[in-house]
Structure 1
Amino acid sequence: MDRLESMGILLAVVDAGSLSAAARQLGMPLANVSRKVAALESHLGTRLLHRTTRQLSLTQAGGAYVAACRRILDEIGEAERTATGEYATPKGELTITAPVVFGRLHIVPVVAAFLAQYPEIEIKLVLTDRVMHLMDEQVDVAVRIGELPDSSFVATRVGTVRRVVCASPAYLARHGTPAMPGELTAHACVSFEVLESRRAWDFGTGRSRQSVPVHSRLAVNTVDAAIAAATLDAGLIRVLSYQVMDALRDDALRIVLAPFEAAPLPVSLLHKGQTPLPLKLRAFFDFVTPLLRARQLSID
């Protein structure tokens, strides 16, 4: 039995949450993954995992063993990176994901600058409004907008964005400009369903927080469609500030209800928290973080 291979497979199972998910991640038959874990338990003479039809969890012995496996494999990885010279020159491939519009406006420029500085690094940039899982989908860095759930991942905050309500000048001239959130009930709204409910929008923070019913005559599934509809006088939209930056500059849209906006949303760079951090990843964070923070005025 190759114990290092079996340790790696066990960690993949624990991180993925199931044998089948780990098999997909590793590109191995499920039977092979199950057999490797069983062989490791047989070698140790103890059960490492509780298995049920719905979930998988570590036994007490399994928790201690998995922690030790992580340390051992991390040390081996560091030794190999040192031997191959990765700690001398950042090299290799990074997979990065970001929301579509934010990625186009802010991540693509800093990635281009990073690649010019580090010629031995290659980047796969996936722009999607779907939340990609760092472990299951082999993502090195994820841009997240919003409050983050507690996890073992490591987050670096690079800025904030506002949630703004906008409409076209022609719509406001025809229907009036709402002065209070409650007045939205008398207006046509266009909902971007990834960001907001089509039935109510939240305003304010803390004790002043309120949920206002809205009449969404049009609900769309992309922010570009929502912005396009608003510029065609279809109604009010509520989107993220950077998403309408061009339309605001061109006076195609105007912000309303600014005093009642909810608290800004944090923008964070997320990674898996490897120790030690691979040099290519450390180089990316050291280079990109100050550039994104410097773009704060554009993000807001």
Structure 2
Amino acid sequence: MDRWQAMRIFVKVAETESFTESARHLHMSAPAVTRAVAALEDLIGARLFVRTTRSVKLTEPGSRYLDDCRRILSDIAEAEAAAAGSYATPSGTLAITASALFGQMYVLPIVHDYLKAHPTLSGRLLFVDRLVNIVDEGIDVAIRIGRLPDSGFSATRVGSVRRVVCGAPAYFEEHGVPSSPADLKDHRIVASTSAWTSPEWRFARDQRVTIHSWLQCNTNDAAIATAVAGSALTRILHYQIGPALLEGRLQIVLADHEEPPLPIHVLYPEGRHAPAKVRAFVDLAVARLRENRLLN
């Protein structure tokens, strides 16, 4: 049995909690995956998984062995990459994910500059408003907004974003400026259902306001456009209205009542073992995002 291949199969089963799903990812048959794990258990003399008809869970020895396997496989990958030159020189394809609008507005320009500086590289972007599984979807770098769960990945904080209430100067001239969250009940509100599924808006000091929307939109862009037109107020993450703020087409109100801002992190799995393509992009992205005054 190829010990390295057996470890790789074991790690994939631990991550997916499924022999069938692991077989699909590894382009193997399910029986072959099962035999490889069984042979590995026989070799080391310990049960690695508790198997039922519905689930596959790590045993305590399996959990410890998983950490060791990941470290060993990472060392092997680093050695192979170093021999091939990819550890020292950016090469291959770099896969990056971020939320849709943030990716388009703030990550895409960085990717353009990065690829221009490294003409032998190619890029793959996944800009979606859902939490992407970095390992399963083959992502090298993720830019995440919000507090991170404990994942063991390397994460560098690069800024923060605020939830803000905003409107156009023309709207405030006609309808006045709210001085507290409670005043919102007297204003026209355009709500983005993609941003807030609940009609209850929360503010600092446990202030809560139930919003009765004048207009509901299923995209942030439509809600922002309505606010820019002077028709209503909206609530949005402030990076999404960066250009409109700088140009004076929108103004933020109720800033003293905002909840604490959400952090922005650049996240990547390999840590110090990351290949050159990842390390070079992370260095550039961290520097550029930290320089952006709209994100700090």
Quick one: structure 1 residues 220 and 30, their matched pair in 2 at CA, closer, same or farther if it must change by over 3 Å? farther
Give 1:282's aligned residue. 279
Q: Per-residue displacement from partner, 1:16-55 (whole Å, max 9, x unpaired)?
A: 3333443343343434333322332234343211123454
Distance 1:20 1:228 in 2: 47
1:223-242 mapped onto 2 (5 Å cutoff):
223-242=220-239
Give 1:42's aligned residue. 42
Which residue identity lines up with residue 89 of structure 1 in the other structure?
T
Find out whether 1:89 has 2:85 as its counterpart. no
Percent identity over paired residues: 45
Give 1:191's aligned residue. 191
Residue from 235, 252, 255 that aligns with 1:255? 252
Give 2:182's aligned residue. 182
Distance 1:275 1:252 in 2: 44
| Conserved 8 A contact 1:74-1:275 | no
CA RMSD of aligned residues (A): 2.2
Q: Per-residue displacement from partner, 1:99-130 (whole Å, max 9, x unpaired)?
A: 12211221111112212222232221111112
Structure 1 portions without partners, runs of 5+: none
Give 1:112's aligned residue. 112
Find out whether 1:218 has 2:215 as its counterpart. yes
Quick one: structure 1 residues 79 and 261, their matched pair in 2 at CA, closer, same or farther if it must change by over 3 Å? same
| Conserved 8 A contact 1:96-1:124 | yes
Distance 1:212 1:19 in 2: 48
Distance 1:256 1:41 in 2: 62
Which residue identity lines up with residue 3 of structure 1 in the other structure?
R
Give 2:23's aligned residue. 23
Distance 2:272 2:111 in 1: 24
| Conserved 8 A contact 2:49-2:62 | yes
| Conserved 8 A contact 1:114-1:288 | no
Distance 1:219 1:55 in 2: 42
Q: Per-residue displacement from partner, 1:160-183 (whole Å, max 9, x unpaired)?
A: 112111123444344332111011
Distance 1:232 1:162 in 2: 22
| Conserved 8 A contact 1:168-1:232 | yes
Give 1:298's aligned residue. 294
Which residue identity lines up with residue 278 of structure 1 in the other structure?
P
Distance 2:88 2:291 in 1: 28
Which residue identity lines up with residue 161 of structure 1 in the other structure?
V
Instruction: Give how far 1:293 is off.
Output: 0.8
| Conserved 8 A contact 2:102-2:239 | yes
Deviates more, 1:114-123 or 1:261-270: 114-123
Q: SS of 2:260's equivalent?
A: coil
Q: Per-residue displacement from partner, 1:39-85 (whole Å, max 9, x unpaired)?
A: 32234343211123454322122223222322322222122112112
Distance 1:262 1:219 in 2: 23
Q: SS of 1:188's equivalent?
A: coil
Structure 2 portions without partners, runs of 5+: none
Quick one: structure 1 residues 42 and 159, their matched pair in 2 at CA, closer, same or farther if it must change by over 3 Å? same
Which residue identity lines up with residue 292 of structure 1 in the other structure?
L
